[in-house]
Amino acid sequence: MGDFWTVFPKGNVFLVVIHVRTRPQVLRNAKIAYEQGADGVFLISHGMVLSPLLLQFYHAVRAFYPSWWIGLNFLDLDRMNALLKIPSDASGLWVDNAGIDENAENPSQLAQVFWDERKKNASWQGLYFGGVAFKYQKKVEDVARVAQLAMPYVDVITTSGDATGVPPSVEKMWAIRNAIGDHPFAIASGITPENVKDYLGIADCFLVATGISFSFTELDPARVRNLAQTIHSS
Going along the chain from its start, the domains and CATH numbers come out as: 4-232 (3.20.20.390)
- What is the pLDDT at residue 137? 67
pLDDT digits (tens, 9 = 90+) for 156-212: 999 987 667 777 789 999 999 999 999 999 999 889 999 999 999 999 999 999 999
pLDDT band at 96 (very low <50, low <70, confident <90, very high): confident
- Closest among 166, 174, 197, 183 to 129, alpha carbons compared: 183
% of the chain at pLDDT higher than 70: 95
| pLDDT, average across residues 106-118 | 89
Q: Which residue has the higher pLDDT, 37 or 216?
A: 37
